[in-house]
Amino acid sequence: MNDERYTVISADCHAGADLLDYRPYLDKRHHDEFDAWAATYVNPYEDLVADTADRNWNSERRLAELEADGIVAEVVFPNTIPPFFPSGSLMAPAPSTADFERRWAGLRAHNRWLADFCEAAPGRRAGVFQILLNDVDEAVREIRRASRAGLTGGVLLPGTPPGSGLPELYSSAYDPIWAVCEELGVVVNHHGGSASPPLGDEPAARAVFMVETTWFSHRALWHLVFGGAFRRHPGLRLVLTEQGSGWIPGVLDMLDYYHGRLVPAATKASTAESKFGAGLAARMGERPSRVWRDNCFVGASFMRPHEVPLRERIGVEKIMWGSDYPHDEGTHPYSREGLRYAYAGVPRDEVAAMVGGNAARVYGFDLDALDAIAAKVGPAVTELAEPLAQPPADATSPVFAKGASLRVW
């Protein structure tokens, strides 16, 4: 941040190739299968067949729209469907070994495309690459390859929803993944919406999904904490993105309570309580709030005003704002207004950390280089200090929705 403008880095954006543009990134032995698959594939997502879908892959358009929104760099999560997947879910059932092989090929194609997409805007995109959890050795190989390819956004950790048939995330089966991420300094990202079980087609399914999806995503935190991943790999870093942030203080209090209750109980005579804590102290180590302080961050996306007063309990140095571009629920093209709505009245150094400084530190952006761009396009310090009187009439982000925060219009 310079004296007059903020350097804004969105810690939550999404991109992907147009369907047929993945073909050159596939190994040639998969080209015929890809042609057959693509010829019959029907995209289930309206935004990926709309006239605006090219925001996912049109580099020049994307840079222009983000700059107009006051954003100079982005962490890029996937968005479009990788080859050979029936939907956007990385946990969609794969009936056979051959299906898994094709899906791995599809994810590698996406990761290769993403590396080129990031190279098209040097220093301004940190690409988040994808893996599957069905083959830990293959996941480790892909983490090494993607890291060498310059994808600095880290790895996207899939969920293990009920019915997936995979070990839970607390399982030591995933230790080779945590080990290679610690070794290479690769950030582990867990994005909201990636851990929910299928809910069927009943009318209530979407409403239930909305109620439950963030909770299922939060589970990665307590699974890795109680599973001891951070004790065995103290350099491991976890980012929880687009899951909100207001829940964090209460959940940390709850996890500390169980840690403080079960660990001592395990040292006592054999009781029902002691059985629940057996082996926990040796496995997980520090209390959860300490693990959060040392190892975890939140991609808070379009942070809501009622979450901002909790920033000290969350940790100002842990919070990374994101616009969720190009999603309809994101703040584009009203990111400046969204930032004003959330951060007006907050000390300037804290705003600078949450809207850019923290993301630069976690994902390795060069702030000095980005400051030069922000000097031309970043939101003014005086602008964000001014409270927003009314939301834009045509804004689609829920950050502006009445009832979405404790501040009432």
The residue assigned the tokens 């952006």 is 365
The pLDDT value given to residue 63: 98
Q: At what angle are helices 248-265 and 205-226 packed, to 10 degrees?
A: 50
Instruction: Say which CATH class 8-400 falls into.
Output: alpha beta
Strands 125-130 and 71-78: parallel
The pLDDT value given to residue 403: 57
Domain map of the chain by residue range?
A: 8-400
What predicted TM-score, i.e. pTM, was given to this entire model?
0.95
The pLDDT value given to residue 402: 67
Phi, psi of 401 (to 5 degrees): -70, 140
Question: In a structure prediction context, what are the per-residue pLDDT tens digits for the chain, which is 409 residues long?
Answer: 578 999 999 999 999 999 999 999 999 999 999 999 999 998 888 888 888 999 999 999 999 999 999 999 999 999 998 999 987 777 777 888 999 999 999 999 999 999 999 999 999 999 999 999 999 999 999 999 999 999 999 999 999 998 888 999 999 999 999 999 999 999 999 999 888 888 888 989 989 998 999 999 999 999 999 999 999 999 999 999 999 999 999 999 999 999 988 888 777 767 777 777 777 777 877 899 999 999 999 999 989 999 999 999 999 999 999 999 999 999 999 999 999 999 999 999 999 999 999 999 999 999 999 999 999 999 999 999 999 989 999 998 988 876 554 433 3
